[in-house]
A and B are shown apart, each in its own frame.
Chain A
Amino acid sequence: MEMVWATLSKTVKYLFRKPYTRMVPKSEPPFKTENLRGRHILDLNKCTGCGMCKIVCPAFAIDLVPVEGDFPQNKPKRFPRIDLHKCTFCGLCVEYCPFSALVMTDTTGFELYTKDKDSTLVMPTELAKPPKPEGYRVTITKDRFLKQLPPPKPKKVESKKGKG
């Protein structure tokens, strides 16, 4: 008893506290924050099929696939298809999209659960729809990345270094 008194006294203190564990999703919803990066939404009327999202994707989760329809801004009619099985939700596709066609929502985790492996490939037409009918929020957009300083001219840095 004496040996573990230091631990026991603290344990008694914690014994009368509310449990820390949250029962998700049984009694409480999962944590959702303003910056949560979740399933994407594609704007078919903005995407030009340039393929920048495909180039910057570190997991190589994005392909460009043809879509039937009338898209004046997208002559080859090729749009990104995202493999959510590979996607790491880093948000680089949103950051580097030159036309702000991709946004991210707070739908993630078990909400994207599927039993069919093939259904992780989200076709552009599905990607254009919201992840669920209601109860989702657009979190990450291109606007977030626009407030950046221009790069300094390399000559300036060198001259500073030379003086020091």
Chain B
Amino acid sequence: MGGNGSKTVMLYFGPQHPGVPGNVGYKVWVDGERVVDAELVPGFLHRGFEKMMEFRTWEMNVVMGYRFCVEDPDSLELGYAEAVDRIFKIDIPEKAKYVRMIQAEFGRIASHMFWVNFMAGVTGLRTVGFWAIAAREEILKWFGWVVGHRVYHSFSVPGGIRWDVPEGFKERTLEVTNKVEDIVKDIESALLKNRVFRARTQGIGILKADDAIKMGVTGPSLRAAGVPYDVRKVVPYENYDKVTFDVPTMTEADAYARSVVRFKEVYQSLRIIRQAVEEVRPGEPHRIKLPLAAPKGVGIARIEAARGEYFIHIVSNGGRQPYRVRLRSVSMPLMTTAVKHIIKNEEVTIADFPIIVKSLDPCSPDIDR
């Protein structure tokens, strides 16, 4: 470490640090104020989830499958359910497809709102972060009403959704989308138009499109570099091909562009929810009862989560339990190679480092598992 005869110092950044995204740490080498290199210190959350899923039955794994990412569990829940549906070779009822979509989109908004809280925190705009938590709370209350639990829902199960939606589902859902949209508009103008925020994020953490593709970066970080890649459009799952929505992109590829893309995505998610909720009619079937043992086969699901593309691969040898469950992590390239790449290409100071990490929005349990 260190060049030109200067002395570099190694600092531990996290896991007990507000600028770190969750239960991970970084070893950061600094030369004065400039960050020279950074190395991820994972392992604080390692439990071996993929292995644990091999010892649990199909229905038990619903409760395991979403624990890979605390902030965005709904996309993972949907991914597991979809992969198992393919092993059983069933087509779930239309109603279940739309409710799963609504759940996943609300999960995406809740995840982006949680990200706003951290992003506003690292740029010194904590007040705005609290409004984002209020918007997230509206969504969590909705989840509490439909599903019963606030964070881990276990609602999208193989074969459909777990139980029928409550009465007045459409009205309440539309009411929540309106409430959330009001708060998000306030947050957007307060955060993105703020010149302090722009000065701290514009031109910082540039991750160009070709580099991002080489490193396997997906999701908003790739779309902020101008690549309109969204699994919901490329390989539509559930009923995403039956609703209209846009894939927002930016060309600057810096931390500010990534923030703008996330806000635009929230509006698109609300648009999807408003279309999907019209298709959820009371009285229609919502679930197919599956046999306890699965046939032999392979189930693959590609899901566009809040952070990027998850690839869920389940192998069944027949019987009550999966033979192998494999998940392609979204956050691994974001936390390791993307951060290193940015540090090598730019002059990153200690103050910029949390902004760069958080603007990529990685999820720490996702890399440990």
Contacts and interface: CB of A to CB of B under 8 A. Distances in A.
Interface of A: 2-4, 6-7, 10-11, 13-14, 20, 31, 33-37, 55-59, 88-92, 95-96, 139-140, 144-145, 147-152, 154, 157-158
A139 B131 CA distance: 32
B134 A7 contact: no
Contacts, number: 114
Nearest to B127: A11
Contact of A148 (B147, B191, B288, B295): B288
A6 B141 CA distance: 29
A154 B145 contact: no
Given A6-B193, A56-B59, A96-B59, A148 B287 contact: yes
B127 A34 contact: no
Q: Give the contact-size bracket for chain B.
A: 35 or more
Interface in B24-75: 56-57, 59-64
Contacts of B193: 6-7
A149 B189 contact: no
B57 A157 contact: no
Contact of B144 (A31, A140, A154): A31
Nearest to A36: B148
A6 B62 CA distance: 44
A149 B289 contact: yes
B196 interface: yes
B110 to A, nearest CB: 16
Contact of B190 (A10, A59, A144): A10
B144 A36 contact: yes
A88 B152 contact: yes
- Counting chain A CB atoms within 10 Å of each CB, the highest count among B141, B149, B164, B186 belongs to B149
Contacts of B89: 154, 157-158
6 contacts: A7-B190, A7-B191, A7-B194, A92-B63, A148-B287, A149-B288
Interface in B119-160: 125, 127-128, 130-131, 134, 137, 141, 144-149, 152, 154, 159-160
A35 B145 contact: yes
A58 B64 contact: yes
Given A4-B196, A7-B125, A150 B289 contact: yes
Interface in B71-116: 88-91, 93
A7 B127 contact: yes
Given A7-B128, A151-B291, A145 B196 contact: no
Nearest to B291: A151
Contacts of A91: 148, 154
A95 B289 CA distance: 12
A6 B291 contact: no
Contact of B91 (A6, A88, A157): A157
Given A37-B149, A145-B163, A90 B154 contact: yes
Contact of A6 (B60, B144, B189, B286): B189
Contact of A58 (B63, B88, B127): B63
A13 B195 CA distance: 19
B288 A151 contact: yes
Nearest to B93: A149
Given A151-B289, A154-B295, A20 B194 contact: no
Given A34-B166, A144-B163, A14 B131 contact: yes
A16 to B, nearest CB: 14
